[in-house]
Amino acid sequence: MSDKNEKNSKPIGGGLFFYVIMIVVLIAFSTIVFGGNYGQKEKKTLSDVMTIIDDESNDVSLVEIKGTTIVVTYKDGQGLNQQVTQDVPYEFVDDLVLKLEKAKNQGKIDNYTYTEPFDWSLIVNVVLFAVSLIVVVVLFMSITRQSRDGNSVFSFGNNRARISDPNKDKVKFSDVAGSVEEKEELQEIVDFLKNPKKYQQLGAKIPKGVLLYGAPGTGKTLLARAVAGEAGVKFFYISGSDFVEMLVGVGASRVRSLFADAKKEAPSVVFIDEIDAVGRKRGAGLGGGQDEREQTLNQILVEMDGFDVNSNVIVMAATNRVDVLDPALLRPGRFDRRIMVNMPDADEREAILKIHARKKPLAKDVDLHEVALSTVGFTGADLENLLNEAALMTARHNKKEITMQEITDATFRVQMGPQKNSKKLSDKVKRLTAYHEAGHAVVLRATSEFEKVDRVTIIPAGRAGGFTAYKPIEDTDFYTEKMLLDTIKMSLGGRAAEEVFLGEVSTGASSDLQQCNNIAKNMIKRYGLSKKFRNMVFGDENEEVFLGYSMGQVQSYSDQTAAAIDDEIKNIIDTCYAETKRILIEKSAIVHALATRLIDKLTVDGPDFEKIYVANGDLASLYPQDYSGIDLTSSTEVSEPAAPVAVPVEVPAEENVYEAAPAEPDHTVEKPHATALDPDDSNDPGPTD
């Protein structure tokens, strides 16, 4: 994309300091050359010089007039040679010459020489005037350039949109993988920009505005650029925050300037990214709205409503929070069409990966379809970052091709952060982390019908002391009650394994507990999946005060109901925890085997875990060279489920105060689509939507 405002041109006024120095040097030079009298032996006044010439006792041998300087050479009455030098004003030179001519005729002087004076002051004045004029012109051109580019203090109200050249770096729909339905909706806009008369003859009105909304990284900006690229028209790009300034009225002025420029370049596309920065509900939050933002929004409403039918200007905008936009902005006649850009499914992710892999050398073992299946919840931006991270890892390993191993490692690196292979772990930490992760993996395999284990590791990564990564067997847009309960059980698997097999629990399960409690709370309050409160919902947590929905948060149910909801949450958690411990006791051989393998190898990938699970934990049959004749359960006894447990006091995660558990192994439940299963995520519409 070629943006005329992004050219790397140095401002003309950047050398202003040079011109100032040049003027100072010229003044100093003129002062030195023309202001000093060097070589004079005696300083006299002009009248003194004439007195010397008129004095008959002096024998004047030579009088020289050099420009505006007179030099008199003579012998005084004592016979001594003398010389006098005196400056003469330019206007008196002619009179002086007449006097010398008269003195020569009278015999007072023998001779004199006269050299025509040159008026250097005129030259200096002309040079200084010319330099001053150049400086003024340079300053004027610099201010004009900055004003045109929008960088001048006098142009803060001008349009700051970047304009792309439709003939350079075009983005087409073929460059946008996936988003099939979205591109079909936008194709009509492209056809209108190409053939406006076709619609005008039929009396059809094309939508004046198109609002693209969806999760971050789903390609909303890319789709807008593709519309302009397909139609071959100018593309005006500006962010919503570019309208907001400290001075009231600046944003509205920029809106007027933007739409005026767009109409001059019609047909064209105006794209406002992150429009929620300026288009939020007016009067939102405590204390009312913000004057500058509201004036800017009002001007946008006026400009969009005042479009001529034949203006051939399409306004497109993108946002992640369509729910906070002002209703006047979304009414027909402004943003007539709203298009949700969804998260890519497996096929669309594979197509996106193919586009980003065009210029990357992939090894023969790379299966992009398998990568697409293991990256549920990844957006187009995430997938691009994934392949870039894999390329960086390949370069770090001095390889010529990107293999499947680099892509797999990059996937977990993007999710969890870099592994801390250099961190030394004590045997006690390894053992606790291994059983914690083994508990997650075994419970997931035993309960879930739509997810499978992808990797189990006790190597610290990011803030996690270890993690269990898992992926869905297939994409899904909703979750059943059983799926949510299975997720709670899987989240509790780490804590339950510590209690059952080690007889004590650690603080490492803090975020596990937070996740399962959030799911249980939302099952009751948002999804109506409680036995006691079936098909009932309580409150709307999205109606925050600062979004302008209300002047405060008001509980829409009684305190008795709130207490009953708390009891119901506890009942769900306790029931799932008891079921989780039962599963772990039943699968204790597998848990012991997996924990032993983790302690030895630190990481167990999905296929190896599946072998251990199917073999019921018989490591000797799978790896006879490593575990032949070894009793895996001899060092760890299974605790009774009802045994009392001493729970240590939870401490902040950033303080490394215990050796028995890694710092934050609670990240075991993190996975590519974790936000999809977490009902507390504001961007997730939930299974019922």
Tokens (6 digits) for 458: 């006790």
- The beta strand positions in 221-341, using DSSP E, are 234-239, 268-273, 313-319, 337-341
Nearest to 114 by CA among 133, 129, 99: 99
Angle CA 579–582–584, to nearest 5: 110
Q: How far is CA 456 from CA 376, 469, 580, in A?
A: 18, 6, 19
Q: Which of 348, 350, 406, 437 is catalytic?
A: 437
Strands 603-605 and 268-273: unpaired
Q: CA-to-CA distance for 679 and 689, rounded, in angstroms?
A: 12
CB 464 within 8 A of CB 661: no
Single out the residue of 508, 485, 486, 484 nearest to residue 495, CA to CA: 508
Residue 465's nearest CA partner among 504, 521, 509 is 509
Backbone angles phi, psi at 270, to 5 degrees: -105, 120
* 64 contacts 97 by C-beta, under 8 angstroms: no
Residue showing tokens 């770090």: 396
Tell me the CA distances in angstroms from 44 to 69, 71, 85, 184, 564, one per residue in order.
Answer: 12, 11, 7, 99, 115
* 146 Cβ neighbours under 8 A, 6+ residues apart: 11, 152, 155
Do 589 and 617 contact (CB within 8 A), yes or no? yes
Do 164 and 225 contact (CB within 8 A), yes or no?
Answer: yes
C-alpha to C-alpha distance for 253 and 249, rounded to whole angstroms: 6
Q: What is the DSSP letter of 334?
A: S
Distance of CA 272 to CAs 157, 216, 228, 258, 370, Å?
Answer: 17, 15, 14, 11, 36
Dmax over CA atoms of the chain, in Å, equals 143
Distance CA 235, CA 314 (A): 10
- Residue 532 CB partners (closer than 8 Å, separation 6+): 564, 568
Output helix, strand, coil percentages for the chain, rounded to the nearest 5: 50, 15, 35
Q: Is 437 noted as a catalytic residue in this protein?
A: yes
Distance of CA 160 to the CA centre of its chain: 19
Quote the tokens at residue 358. 């065009």
Sign of dihedral through CA atoms 326, 331, 335, 341?
A: positive
Asked if 350 and 368 count as a contact pair (C-beta separation under 8 A), the reply is yes
Measured over the CA atoms of residue 140, residue 146, residue 150 and residue 155, the dihedral's sign is: negative
Beta-carbon neighbour count of residue 555 at 10 Å?
A: 10
Whether omega for the bond prior to residue 662 falls within 30 degrees of 0, making it cis, is no
- Contact of 270 with 226, CB cutoff 8 Å: no
| Number of other CB atoms surrounding residue 524 within 10 Å | 24
Cα–Cα distance measured from residue 390 to residue 27, given in angstroms and rounded to the nearest whole number: 64
| Spatial CA neighbour of 497 closest among 408, 619, 583, 566 | 583
Phi and psi at residue 238, to the nearest 5° = -150, 150
Q: So which residues are the catalytic ones?
A: 437
